[in-house]
Structure 1
Amino acid sequence: MSLAIFDLDNTLIADDSDFLWGQFLVDQGIVDKEQYEQANLRFYQDYKQGRLDIVEFLNFSLAPLARHDAEQLFQWRRQFVEQVINPILLQPAKDLVNKHRDQGDTLLVITATNRFVTEPIVQLYGIDNLLATTPEFVDGRYTGRFNGIPCYQDGKVKLLQQWLQHSNESMKNSWFYSDSHNDLPLLQQVDNPVAVDPDDILREHAEQAGWPVISLRG
């Protein structure tokens, strides 16, 4: 048995859930369209170019959670998953997850998108283990802040190391599937790195390193 790690956005699903959640908030009139939409796009472009200030982005993306009660937020999230996420689930990704499950591997998703957005999406793939940035939740409300280390770039490696210390898992014969060059720090830690529909930087690195390059969009 091995540890099979998956990125979420543009790997297991055919788009970026963080960006789409922001667009959903705009479309529903929950946030100011002009200001929020422009900032959401800017942060997404920064992410794709590997220059995202993760703390600045989290302060932006978690702020709407602090303005509404949890029950309302969970209702919006259910609507988001049904209307936006379900259409971009990928059957080949489900098949890959199930292949590792059938082999007895431990399944883990590590994503830069916060846990509020990603937890129900990961559950759709039947994966119990999730490492993601955790929004702070105090006295039944989100505060707009986050707990611990942001799950981004080197932070993914640090959070995985912490998780390994509290689990019975090891990195022996481990796998990691990702689309993004932002995940190179973690891809370089596993025995079996796999580039999935990769961005140009990751594709070039994978080809030079001899890593498999696959697509889950078929």
Structure 2
Amino acid sequence: MTRTAAFFDLDNTLLRGTSMIQLGRGLFERGFVSGRTMLRAALMEARFRATGSEHLDDTSDARDTALEMIKGRDVVEFGQHCAAIFDAHIAGRFCAEAVAVAQEHLDLNHAVWVVTASPVEIAELCAQHLGFTGGLGTVAERADGRYTGRLRDGLLHGATKAVAVRKLAETHGYDLARAHAYSDSSNDLPMLSLVGHPTAVNPDPHLRRHADIHDWPTLEFRDPGGVRSRVARGLKVGTSLRLAARALARRDN
């Protein structure tokens, strides 16, 4: 019998907030990134939390910064840093309600995968921590045990996620017509549309409209307060970060 699978986006779906920000936080503490870089990343996080939507420019900027940061670094050593950062900054941020949905799939003997644009190292750590089947993420190119500063197959984002999920299904014999997928972002519409049972989780405005039109289930696991409250909190956080950035700039000059 063909096995059924469920594919979960990570950021704002399984995880509260964004994994790359938490990874950056840990790398900053270990001297991998500058304070300026970390503040810029925090501003991206504030905008994401305020609007509930990813921004392509932010995604591209985060990708380029990450690649420059790891260029030439030892793969094994970096993996050890990722594991420590995961334990310190990511493991406690999973959304209990979303994890419970994933556990229901596991209880039914479904294969469960994390599928994220974050580094594959983080995807695999998440899958291991949650007892999932595995994790798919963006793969940085490696040569002679070190990162080259390039991506192997591009960012696992948008349509590329759907391609990866289709390949995974072909490899493992998953029936996509019976499969499930969960995401918060309209960027994941290709992956959601690929399966027979898509579900919008904490959806951004465009995904919410699409889910309503196509009668897809919608799950809300956000903090209480509604959209206006989230926007207000995001703007407040963004203002504080901009003030902090100015202070840092004055200190560095």
Same fold, TM-score > 0.5, yes or no:
yes
Q: How far does the alpha carbon of each residue in 1:64-101 deviate from its partner, in whole angstroms, 9 at most, with x for none?
A: 22253344423322221122112212222222112111
Q: 1:166 aligns to what SS in structure 2? A: helix
Pair 1:203-2:205 in alignment:
no
> After the TM superposition, which residues 42-191 of structure 1 pair with which residues of structure 2 at under 5 Å, given as runs?
42=44, 48-52=53-57, 57-191=62-196
The one of 30, 39, 42 aligned to 1:37? 39
Q: How far does the alpha carbon of each residue in 1:148-202 deviate from its partner, in whole angstroms, 9 at most, with x for none?
A: 2421001111112222232211212211111111111211221111111122222
Separation in 2 of the partners of 1:162 and 1:67? 30
The answer for unaligned runs of 5 or more in structure 1 is none
Q: 1:99 aligns to what SS in structure 2? A: helix
Question: Identity across aligned pairs (percent)?
Answer: 28
Separation in 2 of the partners of 1:58 and 1:44? 18
Q: Which has the higher helix share?
A: 2
TM-superposed CA distance for 1:49, in Å, is 4.4
TM-score of the pair, normalised by structure 1: 0.86
Q: 1:110 aligns to what SS in structure 2? A: strand
Preserved contact between residue 90 and residue 216 of structure 1 (Cα < 8 Å): yes
Separation in 1 of the partners of 2:131 and 2:162? 23
Separation in 1 of the partners of 2:104 and 2:88? 28
- How many residues align? The count is 218
Preserved contact between residue 41 and residue 62 of structure 2 (Cα < 8 Å): no
Distance of aligned partners of 1:114 and 1:79 in 2 relative to their CA distance in 1, 3 Å threshold: same
Separation in 1 of the partners of 2:46 and 2:168? 28
Residue type of the partner of 1:201?
Answer: H
The answer for unaligned runs of 5 or more in structure 2 is 224-253
Compute the RMSD of aligned alpha carbons: 2.6
Preserved contact between residue 76 and residue 145 of structure 2 (Cα < 8 Å): no
Q: How far does the alpha carbon of each residue in 1:127-149 deviate from its partner, in whole angstroms, 9 at most, with x for none?
A: 12222111112222222222124
Preserved contact between residue 59 and residue 145 of structure 1 (Cα < 8 Å): no
